[in-house]
Chain A
């Protein structure tokens, strides 16, 4: 021990020392930058006679928004409620966007391996065209060229007497959210859980006892039919109806702004996801395909049981960033007049003159949303990674 201390390395050549010094330096730079910015903001606000604070959120908002999932009355409700309505509008686009874009992207990605020439080329053309045009331009295209050109409500397009298209929006049959609906949804969830348990039991019985599993299959079929019956008749579907010329009630109304934004985001992000799916599938070595074939698996099963689970390992981190991009890109809604959180926050800071506070709120909102997406995708990632035992 004493021998060691005599040959101590000088401080400046000890990389442990330098590691800590660099950390501290980085911290100092970061802290001083932030405090300098903060100081600058407060001094400038003081000079203009403005106090930093979030008190304005309690003030009456008094501007109307085009659509809101919650009741919002501009004559009474404060800014925080209109911002919350905007947040819900944003989440609506993000969640349905992520679901639809996954379906489209996976379909297009798988199509690029199809034996059908037209399908394969079609998916390639889609990917190349969409990826090379800026999203904003595409949103303008969907909004101005497609959705704004829909006919007036009086000349609307009708399908099956229950789907209406006009320049007021897309009207679809939908169900009212009431206790009846909630109860039936509960039953549906119960059905789903029961069928998962039944499926597992069936596999177990087939593996361990060598049974055919036909009884359980019958049970699954009964559950499935019950679920379909509930969905068809229990939820109380309402078709949109015209009560006066041009006024349509009932059903689900998707404004053309929402529709254009959703379609634009889904088509755009779908192209990237198609490429991710393609890359993921290509990353699985040819030997896996051959091995699966040698075991006698049909092509569908090969994809589902052998290739896709391995492809997922590559795909999920990439999908994560695409979902986050979709969430952030939804703020381009402002360009086509959809009342999302960003556009409402923009109006808010304009009416209140509080850009700093409002920008802070927006940044925090997007940060939290994206962290949530990231967190859940990382959880998924852990599940599909190679389990080494």
Chain B
């Protein structure tokens, strides 16, 4: 009996030493870099370059932002941001793999490394920036939360929702703002939360809820796909500030810098008047700011690990911010949304890029 006992102990000791040996091994491989990913020590930038493809998390169901058409092509403002980043990093805007994500799975997909970045109507908030562990690139669309009701419903403000129900998508800031606003207005309303936006809009259209709340732009975009868009109006209430923009993982500043500066670059290009059509001519420009921006002189690319002409590639692919906006949401689109606060700072809007130098 004693012999068996000692045998078991010996094996256990061996086992423990084996596992404790295994631990430092994995340790050294992950501690190498500042990366936040499970792929071991590398920045997302290197991973994207090696893979030769950018994996971009989008919504996929909001016309104007990201929408899949009949041919399976993605289009929209959020999609154009993905394309711009892919063009800047890989030199080819078509090397993007889009990953449609609903609002509750987006952050897990990002932190798990399933996608390289989100370009998915994500509101920039303090807690997401800190405790959720995200990094917010510049805002690409300034929005506010609105409320849609059927035109014939006689609902004019939030107070009219006493005892009624409101549909909302789960896991959004919308959900939180709605609760706050109802509390401020002293209204007791039932809030029906749905996992997917499709289900929420479906329930609203079936009359399950008397109101549907989301970001205003999203409500307008969704309404355009309703069977009878005229039967629904947006109330004149704005419940929150919703700065929407691309998102990357925390603690990967090399990759964050790329996404951040490509996004800024689109805004800066509009300010410089550089467009998809004239970017080639602009390479000959005498303006030192433009020459620097396009990488003709004093290359800026090295600092963020890209070619000097990364902005040329991005602009060739999607144009400047104004062009992206007009094509997807503005004059050239079916929505014809006025630029409003999404105009350049020089025109009284909020779009402002730090200098490229």
Contacts and interface: CB of A to CB of B under 8 A. Distances in A.
Interface in B116-147: 127-128, 131-134
B276 interface: no
Contact of A346 (B104, B165, B176, B199): B104
Interface stretch (B63-71, B87-95, B177-185, B341-349): B177-185
A67 B193 CA distance: 10
A75 interface: yes
A36 B11 CA distance: 20
A244 interface: yes
A211 to B, nearest CB: 60
A339 B164 CA distance: 18
A47 B35 contact: yes
Contacts of B18: 28, 32
Given A247-B163, A347-B175, A32 B19 contact: yes
Contacts of B237: none
A24 B12 contact: yes
Interface stretch (A144-152, A184-192, A303-311, A373-381): A144-152
B195 A334 contact: yes
Given A36-B26, A39-B26, A65 B191 contact: yes
Contact of A148 (B111, B128, B206): B206
A32 B18 CA distance: 9
Contacts of A217: none
B195 A62 contact: no
A48 B36 contact: yes
A64 interface: yes
Interface string A236-275: 0000000010110000000011000000000000000000
Contacts of A75: 179, 183
Interface residues of A, number: 54
A161 interface: no
Interface string A38-51: 01100110011110
Interface in A354-372: 354-355
B60 to A, nearest CB: 18
A63 B128 contact: no
Nearest to B188: A64
A24 B131 CA distance: 41
A90 interface: no
B152 interface: no
Contacts of B175: 63-64, 347
A35 B195 contact: no
A343 B102 CA distance: 14
Interface in B140-190: 163-165, 170-171, 175-176, 178-180, 182-183, 190
A299 interface: no
13 contacts: A20-B7, A32-B22, A47-B34, A48-B111, A56-B131, A64-B175, A67-B190, A144-B206, A152-B207, A167-B208, A336-B199, A337-B193, A355-B107
Interface of B: 4, 7-8, 11-12, 15, 18-19, 22-23, 26-27, 30-31, 34-38, 103-104, 107-108, 111, 127-128, 131-134, 163-165, 170-171, 175-176, 178-180, 182-183, 190-195, 199-200, 202-203, 206-208, 249-251
Given A28-B18, A167-B207, A349-B108, 16 more contacts: A35-B23, A40-B38, A44-B37, A56-B131, A66-B165, A66-B192, A144-B202, A167-B206, A337-B193, A339-B193, A343-B195, A346-B171, A351-B171, A351-B176, A353-B127, A353-B131
Interface of A: 16-17, 20-21, 24, 27-28, 31-32, 35-36, 39-40, 43-44, 47-50, 56, 62-67, 74-75, 144, 148-149, 152, 167-168, 244, 246-247, 256-257, 334-337, 339, 343, 346-347, 349-355
